[in-house]
Amino acid sequence: MKGIISALLCSFDEHGQVNEKGLRDIIRYNLDTVQVDGLYVNGSSGENFLLTTAQKKQIFTIVKDEVQSDVPLIAQIGSLIIEEAIELAKFVTNLGYDAISAVTPFYYKFDFEEIKHYYNTILEHVENKMIIYSIPALTGVNMSLDQFSELFDNKKIIGVKFTAPDFYLLERLRHRFPDHLIYSGFDEMLLPAAVLNIDGAIGSTFNLNGKRAKQILTLAQQGHIMEALAIQKETNDFISAVLDNGLYQTLKELLVTQGVDAGICRQPLKTLTANGKGIVLDIANKYL
């Protein structure tokens, strides 16, 4: 499960329901056009925290049906409701997902013992591998090297999606845990993470920009840093334009320009204005 992995977007209709055809279109674009190495399903980019349990199961099922065993699949099952996380972990394991992932529990300022209990409890109920999803900017949960080490004492926890700009901690993780999978989670910081010998990256912009991401990762691994830097600069120009216009809305509309039925975002995420859609066309013409 190494390489460039898309944090999969999901297509929704105007009523907020899963658009199955659109979701399958997004999957095919990732696999056939962008040629990513895997898919991370129902993460932040899939608007997971705006979904019902039934919708999450629907998405997991459609993705597995479309992908089969073509690329590895990682299912993000994390939830503040631990029973839901366990239910989803069992569900995707039975579907044949290659690994599960879970965001650190958030909002209530859980202490580390509570966080460790959360992961271990989920894994007591399922025979699958776990990728920790660490994203302190959104969860407020910052874990130390020793705390990661305690989590990794559970042999079912095989790695981390590291979405943080702390490159000192990232380097220390790589050094202490050479056999664990370490994924970068910030697309705009892929190159400095790649220099630290990560195993891959998981990101939302890879739904469209995955080929550049693959180039950055490969060039960095080969020691061609200045070449990789030029591509990271172009990538960051693309990312800046997308962020200025609205991340998920713009990524979906960019897919639409490529003939993909990417739908719209679920409320309360807003929809693009006519001006916003015009900006998308400019971005597409420049970068796609």
Known catalytic residues are 133, 161
Asked if 23 and 63 count as a contact pair (C-beta separation under 8 A), the reply is yes
Q: Residue 131's beta-bridge partner residues?
A: 101, 159
User: What is the rounded distance in angstroms from the CA atom of residue 148 to the CA atom of residue 69?
Assistant: 30
**DSSP, res 215:** H
**202 marked among binding-site residues:** yes
Sign (positive or negative) of CA dihedral 106, 109, 132, 6: positive
26 CB-near residues (< 8 Å, 6+ apart): 8, 9, 10, 11, 207, 255, 260, 262
Task: State the DSSP H helix or E strand holding residue 281, giving kind and residue range, or none if neither.
Answer: helix 274-287
* 3-state secondary structure (DSSP) of residue 158: strand
Look up residue 249 and give its two tokens: 């809305």
Could you give the count of Cα atoms lying within 13 Å of 259 in the half-sphere of its Cβ? 4
Could you give the count of Cα atoms lying within 13 Å of 118 in the half-sphere of its Cβ? 22
Asked if 122 and 91 count as a contact pair (C-beta separation under 8 A), the reply is no
* 3-state secondary structure (DSSP) of residue 47: coil
Could you give the C-alpha distances from 64 to 74, 185, 219, in angstroms and in order?
Answer: 10, 23, 31
Q: Binding site: residue ranges?
A: 202
Q: Which residues are annotated as a binding site for pyruvate?
A: 202
